[in-house]
Amino acid sequence: MKIDLEHLEYVYPHGHRALDGVNLTLEGDQPVALIGQNGAGKTTLAKHLNGILRPTKGRILIDGVDLATANTAQWARKVGYVFQNPDDQLFLDSVRKEFAFGPRQLGFDQDLIARRMEQVAGLVGLADRLDDHPFDLSPTEKKFCAIGSVLMMDTGTVVFDEPTCGQDKAGDDRLAAIIARLRGQGRLCITISHDMKFVARNFPRVVLMQHGRVLLDGSREEVFARDDVLEQAYVTPPPITRVARQIGLDGPVFTVSAFVDAAWRAKSGSRNLSLDTTRAKGVKQ
Amino acid sequence: MPGPASNGIPDSPLARMHPMAKIAGVCSLGLATLVWPDFTMGLGIVVILFVAAALARVLRPFTGVMFGFGIPITLMLLFIQGCYSPKNTKVILDLGFAELGLEGSLYAAKIVVTLLVFLGSFYLTNKTTYMGRLVAALTQIGVPSKIGYLILASLNVVPQMQRRIAVIEQSQHARGLETGGGLISRTRAFLPLLGPVVLSSLTDSQERGMTLETRGFGIRRVRQTSYLEVVWRRSDTVMTILFTVFLVLALVLGCLSRTGLVTFAIQWGGRA
């Protein structure tokens, strides 16, 4: 799937300019992370991807079709959107009904819904809670219930708004598995997140926003190498990336194993692993 | 954010007036209209309210409310009372299918202006008073702060629910729910959304209650202070006295005219 945003501008009714000329193409199956400080315009941008918000100026093309030609309910067939707060999304009296709601609206037949229910419930870890009331789920489970209810709709693109918020390690791992599964199925996953460790681990492409504009758009290596721009946008790279940078390892690293490899490479290359104290002191935490 | 809870109130003498003085005004004007024998005083007060609304820079919404309510209610009452009041003796207009009687019409006019005075003065008070100030003023005169909170919370709950409904609606659209189309399909789509809105408002208020407790809202035997200071100025005293005198005068004159001791310049064919 391909989503083109052309000169996108959005001004909220109370006058706040949330998007200020965004040009962006999202395509393929590479998961994309949208990062940036609060108020950068990430959620506003994401809400344009299925027409929840309509641009004040500019346009959005989904597989070449202007988004303005149909309403959100119709675009729901192509783009799934998981809201930041699951309480905004869940309204039925069982997880099962929540899961079935979207596909029913889209006219999926009963067999398909049942098959997908099994897969998705396993994926989001709610297989044995299908008959529970969503209000009885823990906040984390609620989030996965909301995610599951959107995954059920089998859309070509899935947008997650802050799925990492309030998640523990198990939750993060489950999310990572979901994102990997989407990629495996050739679906485009666009995720808003403030958790840079999670972003660096799971998203090959990163888009950095500030003040309604795209500051950086590229591979995670390219984006996390731009310390100057990241600092200007108040985004801190993952700790291990900063440590590697501080001691002068080549290129941004995102995992412990990559860090160790890079350190070995540096050592065997008989380069001076510059544990240079003056430099280390100068870098802000 | 629309609604009386917001602080986006244009500055005006009416906005600066003490909320209690305004409430005194609502009571005085409304009661005076009620006891006055005919509609003339009410009509005068309605005109004054329009001037006050212009001064308070809320003329446009005020006009909308007054006419939006006033026109249909006038037509309805004129039709019912004017044509079918048993008191009717003098016919002023023959409509063909019914006759419009003077007594009933006067009675209808009286009811309409009374309603309009109450509505208009209350609307102006509401439009020009930041609810926080009203509640601060209420607690100042000894209303328990818990009741004050109750008023504020219930006023806040409506815009809050509206915002929530908007977000929930968005999220249902994102899941393929069509809420457009005719009234019936809209209603059908809208009904399932009400459950979570009401439920989450309830859990919200429970949580808010708990946070209030943790911040010492329930402490007893302490004189609580308010962040909003509502000052009673001399002009408020003057206005309250004027309102009171006005009400007393209207009461006395109204009673006297009813007993026939005083007669007014305008003599209608019959008393409503």
CA A14 to chain centre: 27
Q: Which residues contact B90 (CB under 8 A, 6 or more apart)?
A: B101, B102, B103, B269, B270
pLDDT of residue B201: 77
What distances in angstroms separate CA A4 from CA A65, A205, A261, B132, one per listed residue? 10, 16, 38, 47
ipTM given for this complex: 0.78
pLDDT at A280: 46
Among candidates B170, B175, B192 on the partner chain, residue whose Cβ is nearest the Cβ of A102 = B175
Look at residue A215 and tell me whether its pLDDT is greater than 60: yes
pLDDT grade, residue B47 (50/70/90)?
A: very high
Most A CBs within 10 Å, among B161, B165, B175, to test the A interface? B175
For the ranges B54-68, B197-211, B258-272, the lowest mean pLDDT is seen at: B258-272
List residues of chain B with CB under 8 Å from any CB of chain A: 164, 167-168, 170-180, 192-193, 195-196, 199-200
Segment A91-129, tens digit of pLDDT? 888 999 999 999 998 899 999 999 999 999 999 999 999
Regarding beta strands A2-11 and A79-82, do their DSSP bridges make them parallel or antiparallel, or are they unpaired?
Answer: unpaired
Q: pLDDT category, A282, cuts 50, 70, 90? A: very low
* Cβ–Cβ contact A77 with B under 8 A: yes
For residue B181, what pLDDT is reported?
65
Residues B175, A105: C-beta atoms closer than 8 Å: yes
- Tell me how crowded residue B80 is: count the other CB atoms within 10 A of its CB: 12
- With a cut of 90, say whether residue A231 has pLDDT above it: yes
Contacts of B172 in chain A (CB under 8 A): 91
B159-171 pLDDT per residue, tens: 888 888 888 888 8
Which residue is closest to A108 within chain B, CA to CA?
B176
Q: Which chain B residues contact residue A77 at CB under 8 A?
A: 176
SS (H, E, C) chain B: CCCCCCCCCCCCHHHHCCHHHHHHHHHHHHHHHHHCCCCHHHHHHHHHHHHHHHHCCCHHHHHHHHHHHHHHHHHHHHHHHHHHCCCCCCEEEECCCCEEEHHHHHHHHHHHHHHHHHHHHHHHHHHHCCHHHHHHHHHHCCCCHHHHHHHHHHHHHHHHHHHHHHHHHHHHHCCCCCCCCCHHHHHHHHHHHHHHHHHHHHHHHHHHHHHHHHCCCCCCCCCCCCCCCCCCCHHHHHHHHHHHHHHHHHHHHHHHHHHCCCCCCCCCCCCC
Residue A274 has pLDDT above 80, yes or no: no
**Mean of pLDDT over chain B:** 84
Work out the average pLDDT over B178-195: 72
Model pLDDT for residues A155-212, shown as the tens digit of each residue = 999 999 999 988 899 999 999 999 999 999 999 999 999 999 999 999 999 999 999 9
For residue range B6-35, list pLDDT tens digits in order: 467 888 888 889 999 999 999 999 999 998
Confidence at residue A281, expressed as pLDDT on a 0 to 100 scale: 46
- More reliable by pLDDT, A240 or B184: A240
Q: What is the mean pLDDT of residues A202-223?
A: 95
pLDDT mean over B81-101: 83
Contact: B199, A135; criterion CB under 8 Å: yes
What confidence score (pLDDT) does residue B268 get? 62
Of the ranges A229-243, B101-115, B189-203, which one carries the lowest mean pLDDT score?
B189-203
* Domains of chain B by residue range: 13-134+231-259, 144-214
Q: What is chain A's mean pLDDT, rounded?
A: 90
Residues B211-229 have pLDDT tens digits of: 888 988 878 887 777 788 8
Share of chain B above pLDDT 90, in %: 32
What is the pLDDT, as a whole number, of residue B267? 61
N-terminal to C-terminal alpha carbon distance within chain B: 44
- pLDDT confidence of residue B178: 77
Structural domains of chain A in order of their starting residue, each with its CATH number: 2-234 (3.40.50.300), 238-285 (no CATH)
Nearest to A145 by CA among B40, B122, B171, B2: B171
Residue type present at position A211: H
Question: Does A101 contact B at CB distance below 8 Å?
Answer: yes
Closest Cα in chain B to A79: B174
Which residue, among B126, B140, B129, B128, has the nearest Cα to B227 in the 3D structure?
B140
